[in-house]
Structures are given as C-alpha cells and as structure tokens.
Structure 1
Amino acid sequence: MKASIQQLESSVNKQNQYNLRNEIEIAGVDESESESLQHIATLVSKKVGVNLKEEDVDEITRVGPKRGSNSRQAPSKDLLPRTIVVKLVRRTKRNEILQAAKIRRNLTSDGIVEGPSKKLYINERLTKDTRLLFRDARQRSRQHGFRFCWIRDGTIQIRQEEKRPAITIRSSDDLDKHLGPMSAPNSA
C-alpha cells in the first residue's frame, strides 16, 4: 500500500510538473507598487537577447505572500523579492529564453528596475517536490564527486564526468541507488 501511495504521489507530481512546462521564473527583481510585470519581463528577455512580444505571454504574476504589506513597516533588506512567474504561450519561446539566459549567466537588474544592482536568475518553473528533490540531488552529487547536476524539462539529471552518460533522478530512491545516502556533516 505504501508503494502504491508513493507511485500515486509521483504520478501527481509528474502531471503538475508537466502543467508548468511553459513557465519560467525570474528571481531577483525588486518589487515596487507601480511595477508593470509585462514591461519587466520584456526588458529581462531583451537583456538576454530574446524578443518577447505581448502576444507571447499568457500570464505574468509574482508568487508567494506579499512582503512588508503593512505600509508603516519598511521592507527588510534581508528579504528576497518575490519571484516573477511568466507563463508563455509557446514552449519554444520558453526554451529560447532559458537557452539565452544560460549563455548570459551574469545578469543584473541594471536597466530593468531602479535601485541597487542585483543578480537575476532565470529558471524553469518547478513543483515544490521537484525543487526539494533537486536541492537534495545537488547536495548529494557534490558530496559523492559528481560534477554535474541540472534540470531539463522538469527532469533532474546528474553526471559524474564530462564523457559519462547522464543519469535521470525521479525520486529519493534513485538518489540512494545512484549516489548513496546523504553523508552526515563532520563535527569536530
């Protein structure tokens, strides 16, 4: 019965990840009351070298609870701005933006929003379960000497060396099978 529940949870997560296939996340853009998310997304895409038209976008929103919503409370500098989620009409445009962002890794908020320059990140959108599994995969792959750990189309891949084949990670069981258990931190 436990195996059946895990299989159902995995199936639901896979379907939810599939539903996010046309979405990207833009992290690191400061928020303002009068911001235009369409304008910000257009500027970010231009900065990576992709022409994003209004008709390419289905929906744009910030995700997560609004921070510093009390007008008397100044937003803390330690809090990260909420992530912008851009749902695109076509997956090809999403892939074009992700590929261009991969080439231009050192993106900053200069010329996009006012304020101090901050590093921007453009990534594909992941479900919570996939995000947590990816975090665990990155930690374990570093501990066990794997040089590469990445996401492509919502699927986690690891590779030990340049010429070796990639290994697909779909669950914690796959991590245990291919990388072994998480090592305990050394306490001196």
Structure 2
Amino acid sequence: MSQDAKRTWKCPECVSRLPKSDNTNTPLRALSSSGTAGGGADGSDTDDQISNVTLRNKSKTSGIQTSDGDLHAQKYVTEATLRAVIRQELASTLKASISEHLADEISGVKLQLIEFQNSLTFFNKTFEDLRKENSDLRKAQSNILTELKVVKSENSSLKKDLASCTSRIKHLEEECSRQQQWTRLQNIELVGIPENKLENTTDVATKIFKHIGVNITPDDMEFAHRVQPRRPASAGRGRAIIVRLKQRAIKDQIIAAARKRRTIVAKDVELGKDTDLIYVNEHLTRENKGLLAACKLKAKESGFKYIWTKNCRIFARRSDSTPPIVISSTADLEKIA
C-alpha cells in the first residue's frame, strides 16, 4: 500500500461505526400530525408518499443543495485529500511561476545568444580581415626584404665603385694639378705692381728683372700679361703679371736673384710709390697657393724657420741643421709639428 493509502486505511469495525446517512429525510416527505415523518397512523409511509422520495444507496458523499435545487456530490475532505490538493495546487502554481520565469530567462538568454552570435560573427569577420591583411603584409615584407637584399648588394657594389671612382678622381685631380703646375714651371709671377692703362707689361717685367740683376730681352719671354679679375680701387693693389720665359734656366736665375734682393720697391723702378712692394714668385696653381699659405701658418705655430718653393714644390725646414721636408698635400701638414 502507498503511504497515502496507509494513512487513510481503517479496519471494517471502525468503518461500521461511521454514521450512516440516506436521503429519506427530504423536504418532499409528508409530515404526520405529530410532526414526525410518516403518513399512516403507525408511522409508516404510504405508497404515495414513498413514491415522492428518491431513495439512494448509502455513500460517503453528502448532498449539497444549491439555490436552484440541484444536488452536487461532494467528497469528504480527509487529511490525505487535503495534502494532495495542496500539493497539486503548489505544483501547478510553482510550475506556472517557474514556466513564466523560465520563459523570461530563456527569452533573455536567447537575446544574449543572438547578440553573442552577432559579436562572434563580427569578430570572425574582423579576424579573417586581419589574417588576410597580415598575410598581405607578410608578402609585402618578404618582397621588401628581397628588394632590400638586392639594394644592399647594389649598394655594396656602388660603394666599391664609388671608392674606386673617388680614388681615381683624387688621383686624376692630383695628376691634373701636377700637369697644371708643370705647365707653369717656366712662369714667374710679379705681384704688387700698380696698374697703368698705358703700360707695356713686357717692358715692366724687363725693367724689374734688370733691377734685380738679370738682363734679358723681350725675345727671352713668350708673353707677359696680367691675370685675375680687375681689383676694385679700394684694394690698392694691381693684378699680378705672369711672365712666361722660353728657358727654364732663365726663370731659375730670376728667382734666385729676387731672393737675394729680398725687397723690391716700386719707386726704385719708377712704377709706383715707395710704399708699394713688388714680389717675384714662382707661378703656383690656386691649390698650391692655398697649401703654401696653410704651410706658413702651421710653420709659424710650430716654430719652423724656413718655408720656400723650388721648381713649384713647397719645402719646410725647422732650422739650419735640420733636413728639408717636402709638402705635397694637406696631409703633409702633419709633418710640421
């Protein structure tokens, strides 16, 4: 037996003691003169009276009459029945409440799942785009690295070529400077002679050479003319005169005589004032002139006693007892220390 059946079970003896009920006591039954039910003198019902009553079998239900006279059967309410009803109502209520709550929760979860799915779709698309972009970048990087290797190789080759060209250009410049200086080996530069529009540069050079003790004729000179752009009047000095001699020996003779004479005043040769000094030099190129000036400055700082040129080459000597030093480039200035 189930627990509910066990709780409601009663033995036959107890059941027999329960009150019995029927439907003989009905409003439709005729009353006797004494006020008790029954139609005859002996208190028994007549056939007509009994025919008006519907007799029912005894049961555990009692009739409940409604306002319209209908009878509805109703069970006796027991503890088990009450518990079952309460349990059923609670189950129904909980089921409805849980169903409603779950429906709301499921609806919210569905919305969240939809949003999550949309977000996931967006992230997947973004990831695919990024992966494609990354792949393109990798390809571009690979191409760039390949091109970079080629450029590095070309750059290395160009550096070698540039170094070779630089060395060759430097060599050519030195060679060109030597050639230019060689072509000036028979030239003499006269500096500090005032200019005159009516002057004859050949006669001027002849007069200066004669003054220092070298007698030459115009036939010994190939040309004599002034060089460099005309100086402004404020400069106070005329342009240099370049004299090219036909023989190198005559040129060396003039340079030696001028160094012995040391100072030549323009007034002594009737070419200017007594304040105008004339210098007789070898005709150096622009580069060698700059190197000579730097050499003189360095020698003055280092205490060198002599700086001079011979055959358009620059020499330096610290004292009378030291050997001369040849200065051919700016790198050689380190020798003067």
Distance in 1 separating the partners of 2:167 and 2:214:
44
1:136-158: per-residue Cα shift (whole Å, max 9, x none)? 11111111121111111111111
Query: Which of 1 and 2 has greater Rg?
Result: 2
- Establish whether residue 110 from structure 1 lines up as the match of residue 267 from structure 2: yes
Distance in 2 separating the partners of 1:22 and 1:40:
18
Root mean square deviation, CA, Å: 1.4
| Letter aligned with residue 253 of structure 2 | E
Distance in 1 separating the partners of 2:271 and 2:282:
25
Per the alignment, residue 132 of structure 1 pairs with 290
Farther-moved stretch of structure 1 (113-122 vs 132-141): 113-122
| Letter aligned with residue 301 of structure 2 | Q
Q: CA deviation at 1:130?
A: 0.6
TM-score (normalizing by structure 1): 0.86
| 1:9 match: secondary structure | helix
- Establish whether residue 80 from structure 1 lines up as the match of residue 217 from structure 2: no
Please state which structure has a larger fraction of its residues in strand. Answer: 1
1:5-39: per-residue Cα shift (whole Å, max 9, x none)? 32221111111101101100111111111001111
Q: CA deviation at 1:4?
A: 3.1
Q: CA deviation at 1:50?
A: 0.5
| 2:277 match: secondary structure | coil
- Establish whether residue 98 from structure 1 lines up as the match of residue 263 from structure 2: no
**Aligned counterpart for 1:162 among listed residues 317, 320, 326:** 320
What does 1:142-181 align with in structure 2 at a 5 Å threshold? 142-176=300-334, 178-179=335-336
| Structure 2 stretches lacking a partner, 5+ long | 1-162
| Structure 1 stretches lacking a partner, 5+ long | 69-74, 181-188
1:118-175: per-residue Cα shift (whole Å, max 9, x none)? 1110001000001001111111111112111111111111111111111111111111
Q: Is the 8 A contact 2:191 2:240 kept in 1?
A: yes
Distance in 1 separating the partners of 2:168 and 2:299:
28
Pairs aligned (count): 172
Distance in 2 separating the partners of 1:82 and 1:139:
24
Distance in 1 separating the partners of 2:181 and 2:272:
34
| Letter aligned with residue 155 of structure 1 | R
| Letter aligned with residue 87 of structure 1 | R
| 1:66 match: secondary structure | coil
Q: CA deviation at 1:111?
A: 4.4
Please state which structure has a larger fraction of its residues in helix. Answer: 2
Farther-moved stretch of structure 1 (161-170 vs 113-122): 113-122
Q: Is the 8 A contact 1:29 1:113 kept in 2?
A: no
Per the alignment, residue 185 of structure 1 pairs with none
Per the alignment, residue 121 of structure 1 pairs with 279
Percent of paired sites with the same residue: 29
